[in-house]
Amino acid sequence: MQIEFLGTSLRTPLVLASGVLGNNKAILERVWANGCGLPTMKSIGPEPRDGHHNPTVIDLGEGMINAVGLHTPGYLNMEEEWQDLENRKFPVNASIYGGSVEEFARVAQFVAAKGPEFIELNISCPNSESHGMIFGVNPESSFAVVSAVKKVTDIPVIAKLTPAAPDIGTIAKACEEAGADAICAINTAGPGMVIDIESQQPVLAFKKGGLSGPMIRPIAVRCVYDIYEQVSIPIIGLGGITTGADAVEIIMAGASLVGMGTAVRYRGINVFNRVNQEIDDWLKTHATSIDQIIGIAHGKQKPVNPKGEK
């Protein structure tokens, strides 16, 4: 299932979500070898950051709650990793975040020089007090971040959005008007909280965290549907996708690519190969193709610009 996406040929339509198995070249390469078309690096920030104390991740059965806290060595302290990635045989999506518009632009300019195929702007993290979601719930601040980053790089820019936005379609439209080449939706939902009734304390050290996995898939499908109504740039549909049927559903809502993260927990790293096969089986059974079902749940399809041509 070769896919053309913003000028890069991907061998499958599946994307590894940021923050999951994206810590170094060896892991990214293993994910790619197991059927992922586009591995995403763990989010890179402006300064070294330890993240939150354990426990940071809890399996709730139908999904997970996490508050890892954007752990990063800082963009200036990753030279060894960038050198490892120089001779890679697979595309890389570099996720970045910042605490201000200036920090987003500074990190993006530095990271772009390292040669990733794409830069993903994490303007949607729900489990950090001073990063991410403060930008992603407001169209003006989303526009400001994307616009500033586009001025310092020619690499395709993907804006990753939060389901916490009151009107995610409006946020996506603001990002498109600022020059974003694609939208990724959604980041984790929430924040939520789980309390241990015996200790009478929140389970996570940070107390609250983002929700992921199958329990948020209907939210993700709704968000992608709303975004497709507003923009003409490609959408990466992400949030609770675990099976080929899930992937077909979010493609019908409007996604051109499909992201997975928590699914690795439930079906193992080979989940990418398995979901690719399940998508392919469904398409053959229904005598159709991915291009023919993108956004079909809207009643009619509209042109989407997968090559990134403005």
Residues 6+ apart with CB under 8 A from 190: 65, 126, 127, 164, 208, 209, 210, 211
Q: Which helix (H) or strand (E) holds 173?
A: helix 168-178
- Residue listed under structure tokens 């170094």: 24
CB distance 43 to 219 below 8 Å: no
HEC profile of 108-151: HHHHHCCCCCEEEEECCCCCCCCCCHHHHCCHHHHHHHHHHHHC
- How far is it, in rounded angstroms, from Cα 206 to Cα 46? 21
Rg of the chain over Cα atoms, rounded to whole angstroms, equals 18
Tokens of 1: 């299932």
**What's at 142, amino acid-wise?**
S
Strand 235-238 with 257-260, pairing = parallel
**What number of other Cβ atoms are within 10 A of residue 292's Cβ?**
12
**What's at 293, amino acid-wise?**
I
Residues 6+ apart with CB under 8 A from 270: 34, 35
Q: Which of 36, 125, 175, 184 is the catalytic position? A: 125
CB distance 31 to 269 below 8 Å: yes
- Is 125 an active-site residue? yes
Beta-ladder partners of 121: 96, 159
State the catalytic residues.
125
